[in-house]
Structure 1
Amino acid sequence: MTAAAGAADAGAPSEPGEGAAAAQFGSGIPDVVTDASGERLARAASIGAGTPVLAFDVGGTDIKSALFDASGAAVGLRRTPTPEAGPDMPARLVERIGELGDALRAQHPEIVPQAVGFVVPGIVDADAGVAVFSSNLGLRSAPLRMLAEQRFGLPVAFDHDVGTASWAEYMLGAARDYPNSVAIIIGTGIAGTILVDGVPYTGGGYAGEIGHSPIGEWPCPCGARGCLEAVASAGAIARRYEAATGVEVDGAKEVIARAADGDAVAGQIWNEALDALTLSIAQLTAVIAPEAVVIGGGLSRAGGALFDELRTRLAARLSFHRIPVLIPAQLSGNAGILGSALRARRVVA
């Protein structure tokens, strides 16, 4: 199969850059609810019976919030704008989720949460409860867990958004049979998580920056050169095509479709993205030998154009290594909120 084959199957959501990639690929989930503005949201799956909790998944653009009842169902799932970064951001952010939690509890007084789950992007020291650095949120050394515990008067589980989402895929989704696996989330950027015996390896908050592993010589917005996400993220694929042709495209999905239709420039850019992803997965395979690689985000529903090509190229590049199973993520954009709720339950278990 060529790199362009299967492109007609492309579709879907993303994180990091969830909003941007969702606009490119669509949610792919027909069962939806709406937020206060009438916007369609994918319905979160159940996390199973247990303690009622509040959960928040904070992104650079929006915050997902929900109250999970004793059956494990998400009640009042909604998405609201994230406060703009600026002075007193830690306090303003915690107050925003506090207000969302207050509203959920007022709307559903029969559900009494016993803990709070709270995840954010960036560099997170989960043990200390500190957001070490988050460019999207404008946070540095922010003691968010302490602030949230003061605001809610409840124990708070605080963690990294992608790490928590990947752990949710292990607990509830695509990685449930693979305790030793890697999750790669491909959206506007690329992030990842390494699971060892079902537990994310955090490296003190610095592990999993797969998108900034050196692959080639392309300049990256982070200031380095050769980062994987500079060539293989959904955002980079679209930007590189527009820069090469002067033609504005509707995200990475259009570039993949143009490659399928024989556009030589689109084909080259898509092939370079596939080669870079293959090299990155091959390196991970040689070093940590994951049983599976779960791919989520904007490119995860590109069908054979992504998965068949990666499988073929990976088999050709590796020799004696155990080739990991490549599988699409199952929880879509809900993985973060589900993982946040599961984390909250752990603090009162």
Structure 2
Amino acid sequence: MSTSPEPAKPRRNNPDSREARRGFAGSWGVGQGSPVLAFDVGGTDIKSALFDADGTPLGLQRTPTPKLGADPAAALIEEIARLADGLRAQHPSVEPRALGFVVPGIVDVDAGIGVFASNMGWRNAPLRALAQQRLNLTVAFDHDVGAASWAEHELGGARAHDDVVVVIIGTGIAGAILVGGRPYTAGGYAGEIGHSPVADGPECACGARGCLETVASAGAIARRYREATGLTPNGAKDVIARAAAGDEAAAEIWNAALDALAMSLAQLTAIMAPEAIIIGGGLSRASTLFDELRTRLAARLSFHRIPALIPAELSGNAGLLGAALRARELA
């Protein structure tokens, strides 16, 4: 039985050195180092690339996540192997020294285990060991939002701070925590900001009641407007636009979402005192979000150190870049 390598401890770099990693297509590269393969696995699609010695992603692509069947962990590793073979065939002069991949759900990074992912279908899957055995490469394995947060810390909006909370607001709400420049994971259970309780209801898909994402996620905002009016909006942005135009139902729903977000950020501030809270995801592009949250957060707090609220910079590339950074630590 083969054993997986111990995951590397994150290395701290100064912010100036991170600036040198600016890279592809107006976004970010990962700087000089060993070539690595990187994969960001989601329930809908898989992003993949081969990063060369300059940190430039080669063959960057997004492919549909296949149906994983009765053995989802093994099926996923086979798909990663297929994609890896294709990337290596396209760029035969670039020999990867390690592979990084990230997945959703509850992830025990230290053990290399996908503890649970409802949309992927596994429980306690030894994903890092399976990948290492199948691809014969050193493998870095991480949580998708955790890796995206690490990329934001090394390359993006959080690079000037070491005590940071990253919140991603999309269909749901996900998060990650860095303390002293190091991820705090608690076996994969830390950072579940979307499932922190803010009310007595409604019931969440996770089985609890009143989770933040049932009120303040983009999915919840659209759903609550549809339930309140019988009208189907074109997503949360449409509801926010209707609120700005004077739609009372939309305004009430958007106000409740902002209050819930401010409450959760205030709780995080009181308990953790982060230097910064990085906010990403589709809802982070709402024009009024940051001003409203700054005002409401300040109103809820007194002597506390109020964190800087900073937009995430890496957008949809963050998970893939985080996977590449993790792989570089092992290469």
Mapping of 1:45-124 within 5 angstroms? 45-124=28-107
Structure number with greater CO (CA < 8 Å, separation at least 6) is: 1
Aligned match for 2:204, one of 190, 212, 220: 220
Task: Report the Cα distance in structure 2 between the residues aligned to 1:129 and 1:46, rounded to whole angstroms.
Answer: 26
Aligned match for 1:136, one of 111, 119, 126: 119
Residue 294, structure 1, aligned to residue 294, structure 2: no
TM-fit CA distance, 1:199: 1.0
Task: Report the Cα distance in structure 2 between the residues aligned to 1:84 and 1:252, rounded to whole angstroms.
Answer: 29
Aligned match for 1:165, one of 130, 148, 152: 148
Task: Report the Cα distance in structure 2 between the residues aligned to 1:297 and 1:279, rounded to whole angstroms.
Answer: 19
Structure 2: which amino acid aligns with 1:223? G
1:157–1:44 distance in 2 versus 1, CA, 3 Å = farther
Is the Cα–Cα contact under 8 Å of residues 117 and 341 in structure 1 kept in the other structure? yes
State the SS of the aligned residue for 1:337.
helix
Task: Report the Cα distance in structure 1 between the residues aligned to 2:161 and 2:97, rounded to whole angstroms.
Answer: 30
Aligned match for 2:166, one of 183, 187, 190: 183
Gaps of 5+ in 2: 1-23
State the SS of the aligned residue for 2:200.
strand
Task: Report the Cα distance in structure 2 between the residues aligned to 1:178 and 1:78, rounded to whole angstroms.
Answer: 31
Mapping of 1:1-349 within 5 angstroms? 45-218=28-201, 219-303=203-287, 305-348=288-331
1:123–1:283 distance in 2 versus 1, CA, 3 Å = same
1:45–1:68 distance in 2 versus 1, CA, 3 Å = same
Structure 1 residue ranges, 4+ long, deviating more than 6 angstroms after superposition? none
Is the Cα–Cα contact under 8 Å of residues 167 and 198 in structure 1 kept in the other structure? no
Task: Report the Cα distance in structure 1 between the residues aligned to 2:180 and 2:126, rounded to whole angstroms.
Answer: 29
TM norm structure 2: 0.91
TM-fit CA distance, 1:86: 2.7
Is the Cα–Cα contact under 8 Å of residues 187 and 234 in structure 1 kept in the other structure? yes
Partner in structure 2 of residue 7 of structure 1: none
Partner in structure 1 of residue 16 of structure 2: none
1:284–1:183 distance in 2 versus 1, CA, 3 Å = same
- RMSD between superposed Cα atoms in Å: 1.1
State the SS of the aligned residue for 1:231.
helix
Task: Report the Cα distance in structure 2 between the residues aligned to 1:51 and 1:243, rounded to whole angstroms.
Answer: 52
Task: Report the Cα distance in structure 1 between the residues aligned to 2:70 and 2:156, rounded to whole angstroms.
Answer: 38
Is the Cα–Cα contact under 8 Å of residues 69 and 75 in structure 2 kept in the other structure? no
State the SS of the aligned residue for 1:300.
helix
TM-fit CA distance, 1:84: 2.0
State the SS of the aligned residue for 1:91.
helix
Give per-residue Cα distances to partners, 1:232-280, cap 9 Å, x unaligned. 0000000000111110111100000000000000000000000000000
Task: Report the Cα distance in structure 1 between the residues aligned to 2:178 and 2:84, rounded to whole angstroms.
Answer: 30
TM-fit CA distance, 1:43: 7.2
Task: Report the Cα distance in structure 2 between the residues aligned to 1:125 and 1:257, rounded to whole angstroms.
Answer: 40
Of the structure 1 ranges 206-215 and 44-53, higher mean CA displacement relative to structure 2 is found in 44-53
Is the Cα–Cα contact under 8 Å of residues 63 and 81 in structure 1 kept in the other structure? yes
Of the structure 1 ranges 216-225 and 178-187, higher mean CA displacement relative to structure 2 is found in 216-225
Task: Report the Cα distance in structure 1 between the residues aligned to 2:175 and 2:132, rounded to whole angstroms.
Answer: 28
TM-fit CA distance, 1:312: 0.5
TM-fit CA distance, 1:197: 1.3
Gaps of 5+ in 1: 1-32, 34-41
- Give the paired residue count: 307
State the SS of the aligned residue for 2:162.
coil
Is the Cα–Cα contact under 8 Å of residues 49 and 70 in structure 1 kept in the other structure? yes
State the SS of the aligned residue for 2:54.
coil
Structure 1: which amino acid aligns with 2:219? G
Task: Report the Cα distance in structure 2 between the residues aligned to 1:236 and 1:217, rounded to whole angstroms.
Answer: 15
